Amino acid sequence: MLNRKNCVPLRPFMRRLILFLSFLGALCAPLRLLADTTQAADELDSTLRVSLLTCSPGSATYELYGHTAIRARSERDRFDVVYNYGLFDFNQPNFVWHFVLGECDYMVGREHFPLFEYAYKLRGSSITEQVLNLYPQEAQELLQALEENCLPENCTYRYNIFRENCTTKARDIIEAHIYGRLRYPMRPRRFTIRQMLHQFTAGSPWDEAGNDMLLGTEVDTLLTERNETFLPIYMMWYADSIMIERGYMRFYPLVAERRVILEANPEVQRQQAASEPSFPLSPTLLFWLLLAAGVLLAVWEYSRRRIVWGVDVVLMTLQGLAGILLLFMMLFSTHPGVGSNWQIWVLNPLPLFFVPAVVRADRRREPCIYHAFAAAFLVLFLALSFFIPQDFTPLIYPLALLLLSRALVHLAIQRTTR
């Protein structure tokens, strides 16, 4: 017969065993987590480096503002590639028409770095590399996102010169794959889009004149520091001072290292600029010379009481065609910055409708009411131009004065011949 005092109760024993095993499991959990983390870290490529590449401007119109790309290279996996968001195809059907409408599509593609470097060496441009201060996991995820963007179903995007271009696309994808928040430095002085564009078109006056003629009031407002990075050079300048906020009061520089990997070649740049077709006169000088010629012609016409109506036909036709272009851009183009252009007061389509009436009146030496309305509009524009919130092209003033001289000489001759 068993003695109850010598028996071990099963329930309390099992309870203690379960508690002991649970304690061991809790003790080993951090060790297992550490092992899993170590294994995951071993799978990451610690030699992967992602860089921001900034290429200096060229002489062609689409090269004036420079270029931005992303470089990824790995010693372990032996690759060195560049992801380029600035690819486009001139041979696309109706490329120019779609570009005017603001419906032009650009692409992102990858190429080997030596080929990318060679292309800019032929252009004489410099390439500056800024190695990003990323965790291995961040660099790996960024690389995977870039590869996904290069897939045929993802590689095309709708181009927007100020919001969706090679620089902003590179900036946005970098921001999206950083564990933290980017802090842009504060600048004591900020610029408008037009002022920033002028910094890069100073050596190309005809390109600058075309921009100023088409762009309206939207490009004359001050930008935030982040929005200034739509230009490659500004992105490079800001990147040197951008800090990554990782947690409370923990800041790290975005750029770990900066170096110039290709020096600019001024001789090649001069040769490239010389090969580009150019007009011998600057647009400003040409328009003031036209104004001087127009005033001399008006004086001669008044002294002879005779109008050279062929000049009116040419000027009114050109004025009307330019007005059609401005009005079309304002109404139908999705390009940013062309929606409200006060220069339409001077360059508008209305003169085209009055060309026959003006020619008929000139030939018959009869008065035409068109000139009174044209003079009133031009005087009103010149008087209000200093108060209108738009930075007008310098060409608009000699042009407005030239057109005003034509209207005034008509009115003066009509008054003396009554």
pLDDT digits (tens, 9 = 90+) for 236-268: 999 999 999 998 889 999 999 999 999 999 999
User: Is 318 contained in some domain?
Assistant: yes
179 lies in the same domain as 266: yes
Nearest to 63 by CA among 128, 112, 120: 120
250 lies in the same domain as 301: no
Q: How many domains does the structure of the chain reveal?
A: 2
170 lies in the same domain as 249: yes
270 lies in the same domain as 304: no
User: Is 387 contained in some domain?
Assistant: yes
The domain that holds 250 is classified in CATH as 3.90.1720
User: Is 351 contained in some domain?
Assistant: yes
260 lies in the same domain as 296: no
Measured CA to CA, the distance from residue 77 to residue 135 in angstroms comes to: 18
User: Is 180 contained in some domain?
Assistant: yes
Q: What b/e string do you get for 343-362 counting C-beta neighbours within 10 Å, with b at 16 or more?
A: bbbbbbbebeebbeebbebb
Cβ-in-10-Å burial (0-12, 13-18, 19+) of 316 comes to buried
User: Is 25 contained in some domain?
Assistant: no
What residues have CB less than 8 Å from 226, skipping those under 6 apart? 184
- Give the DSSP H or E segment for 51: strand 49-55
Residue 158 is part of which domain span? Answer: 49-187+225-274
pLDDT surpasses 60 at 408: yes
294 lies in the same domain as 326: yes
Cα angle, residue 208 at apex, residues 206 and 212 outer, rounded to 5°: 120
306 lies in the same domain as 261: no
113 lies in the same domain as 252: yes
pLDDT surpasses 50 at 5: no
User: Is 196 contained in some domain?
Assistant: no
Q: What b/e string do you get for 52-90 counting C-beta neighbours within 10 Å, with b at 16 or more?
A: bbbbbbbbeeebbbbbbbbbbbbeeeeeebbbbbbeeee
312 lies in the same domain as 373: yes
- pLDDT digits 0-9 by tens, 194-215: 999 999 999 899 999 999 999 9
240 lies in the same domain as 319: no
pLDDT surpasses 60 at 336: yes
> What is the percent of the chain where pLDDT is above 70?
89
User: Is 32 contained in some domain?
Assistant: no
pLDDT surpasses 90 at 22: no
Q: Report the predicted TM-score, pTM, of the whole model to 2 decimal places.
A: 0.83
pLDDT surpasses 50 at 375: yes
Full DSSP string of 52-119:
EEEE---SSGGGTT-EEEEEEEETTTTEEEEEEEEE--TTSTTHHHHHHHT--EEEEEEEEHHHHHHH
Cβ-in-10-Å burial (0-12, 13-18, 19+) of 241 comes to middle
pLDDT surpasses 80 at 142: yes
- pLDDT digits 0-9 by tens, 312-329: 999 999 999 999 999 999
User: Is 11 contained in some domain?
Assistant: no
Compute φ and ψ for 252, nearest 5 degrees.
-135, 140
Question: Which of 35-49, 230-244, 281-295 is predicted with the least confidence, judged by mean pLDDT?
Answer: 35-49
**Helix extents (H) in 177-308:** 193-201, 205-214, 232-239, 266-275, 283-304
80 lies in the same domain as 102: yes
Measured CA to CA, the distance from residue 33 to residue 211 in angstroms comes to: 59
